[in-house]
Amino acid sequence: MLNSLSGRFLILTTIFVMLAEVMIFVPSVARFREDYLRDRLERAQIASLALLADDMIDGALEAELLENAGVFNIVLRRDETRQLMLSSQLPSPIAATYDLRDAGAVTLIGDALAQLAAGDNGVIRVIGAPVRDAGLLIEITMETAPLRQAMLEYGLRVLGLSAVISIFTAVLLFLAVRILLVKPIKGVVGAMQRYAAEPEDARRVIQPTSAVRELREAEDALLQLQTELTHALKQKERLAQLGAAVAKVSHDLRNILTSAQLFTDRIEMSEDPTVRRMAPKLVNSIRRAVSLCESTLAFGRAEEPAPTLTVLRLADLVGDVIDSERLASVASDISFSEDIPAQMTVRADPEQLYRVLSNLVRNARQALEATNRPGEINVAAHEDEQAWWIKVCDTGPGLPERARDKLFQPFQGGARKGGSGLGLAIAAELLRGHGGKLELAQTGPDGTVFTICLPKSDGTI
């Protein structure tokens, strides 16, 4: 119980209330001492008034009056004359004098603490103002032992009452914390445990109900986390199913493309110069498609195989990509350009780098075609000591805001209507296999720029 949240609240509340009571204890004892002394002064005044009423009081009655007042001597000044009204023999010399007429709170507290600290019995003189203006002042002498004993008894009563109040308050707070805080927290923990058992079950997602603001914020945050995680798990399952489906489709597509390869020799023998010029492009496209299908079937999953790194001329690869996209855009007013050093070579997997560039250039072309306006696509490259850098730029309308947040996530980063959102995700994954990265450098009404980084070293940039 002591290690629980409510148990610690119980202990801390008891301690804090006791500390508050201790802070109240000192002025309370000082007030009690003042009241005690004033009571003695009032008793002494009554005894002195009795003497004024009858001067013939005998010694026994005088002693009884002093005993009832709890003092040794009484001095009453009614006018300018100081008169000893009642007196008896002092057991010891007067140790201190206290004037209650103009004593401040600090003085009273200091005197009370000194009184408690003094362990021996002594005689003190107390001066005060008579009640009902029955004189100028009244002065008494008295013992300190009864005063100190009364102060100790009062202090113990105060501390005992404080302990009772502390325990009672702590119990109430304990119950309140259990009901208002601990129980809702256990509810949140229970919701987390139930969700962890079956995270795919949307019925186990927490439903915020707490009326406490902080707990409601925690429930809302947990709801968002569980919702996103459930969506991610479903997305993962969908991708796994997609991988199996792609493997089946790739099997049949490979057979179709293999048959298409048998006709390429006859196409190359055509006398038509346009056909003879385009035939190698068609052969290369079919070869790449067959290679992709075989890779998918070989791995039997949606993950990409590790790249086979070779040194290749980047200009030739970019030229193939641009030629393919130029054929696809014959009906639109889109121009293509490249700024690749003729002898620049990079170390990469030719097929995978082709797919990366093809995805980027195709996305740019489709974005420009959607605007029905002229546009330009440019592929440029340069290198430094650490990496090769390739930029794919277009003069399109830019990416919408909703597409930027999840640009490289499958099925979520699609920038155009009808798009699957796979192209950029595939490109980013292929580049990660090279130890490189794909980044959106800029986008806006003036166009979009993607940057490819391929490291020259074995480590990731």
Q: Do 14 and 167 contact (CB within 8 A), yes or no?
A: yes
Start-end of H helices in 178-202:
183-197
What is the spatial distance between Cα 36 and Cα 150, in angstroms, rounded to a whole number? 9
What is the spatial distance between Cα 29 and Cα 32, in angstroms, rounded to a whole number? 5
What is the spatial distance between Cα 415 and Cα 31, in angstroms, rounded to a whole number? 80
Please spell the DSSP secondary structure of 222-260, one letter per residue.
HHHHHHHHHHHHHHHHHHHHHHHHHHHHHHHHHHHHHHH
SS3 451: strand
Task: Report how far apart, in Å, the C-alpha atoms of 136 and of each of 22, 113, 129, 235, 352 are.
Answer: 38, 29, 6, 96, 111
Residue 14 confidence class, pLDDT cut points 50, 70, 90: confident
Residue 461 confidence class, pLDDT cut points 50, 70, 90: very low
Q: Do 440 and 450 contact (CB within 8 A), yes or no?
A: yes
Placement of tokens 């010694």 in the chain: 59
What is the spatial distance between Cα 115 and Cα 107, in angstroms, rounded to a whole number? 12
Residue 19 confidence class, pLDDT cut points 50, 70, 90: confident
Please spell the DSSP secondary structure of 143-178, one letter per residue.
ESHHHHHHHHHHHHHHHHHHHHHHHHHHHHHHHHHI
What is the spatial distance between Cα 334 and Cα 363, in angstroms, rounded to a whole number? 13
Residues in the chain: 461
Task: Report how far apart, in Å, the C-alpha atoms of 245 and of each of 95, 239, 240 are.
Answer: 105, 10, 9
- The structure tokens listed for 345 are 């070579």
Domain with CATH 3.30.565.10 in the chain: 306-455
| pTM of model > 0.75 | no
Summarize pLDDT for 69-111 with one digit per residue, the tens: 778 787 777 666 556 566 777 888 888 888 888 788 888 888 8
Strand partners, 388: 383, 454
Residue 364 contacts by C-beta under 8 Å, 6 or more apart in sequence? Answer: 377, 392, 393, 394, 396, 448
CA 429 to chain CA mean position, Å: 32
CATH code: domain 306-455 is 3.30.565.10
- The structure tokens listed for 436 are 């490189």
Among 392, 424, 420, residue whose Cα is nearest residue 408:
424
Please spell the DSSP secondary structure of 421-446, one letter per residue.
S-HHHHHHHHHHHTT-EEEEEEEETT
Summarize pLDDT for 54-78 with one digit per residue, the tens: 555 556 766 777 777 778 787 777 6
Calculate mean pLDDT across residues 302-316.
82
Q: Do 416 and 366 contact (CB within 8 A), yes or no?
A: yes
Summarize pLDDT for 143-194 with one digit per residue, the tens: 888 888 888 888 888 878 877 877 787 778 778 777 777 788 888 888 888 8
Residue 460 confidence class, pLDDT cut points 50, 70, 90: very low
E strand or H helix that includes residue 72 = none
- The structure tokens listed for 121 are 């019995």
Summarize pLDDT for 333-388 with one digit per residue, the tens: 899 999 999 999 999 999 899 989 988 998 898 889 888 888 999 999 999 999 99
Residue 295 confidence class, pLDDT cut points 50, 70, 90: low
Q: Do 434 and 348 contact (CB within 8 A), yes or no?
A: yes
Residues of the chain above pLDDT 90, percent: 16
SS3 300: coil
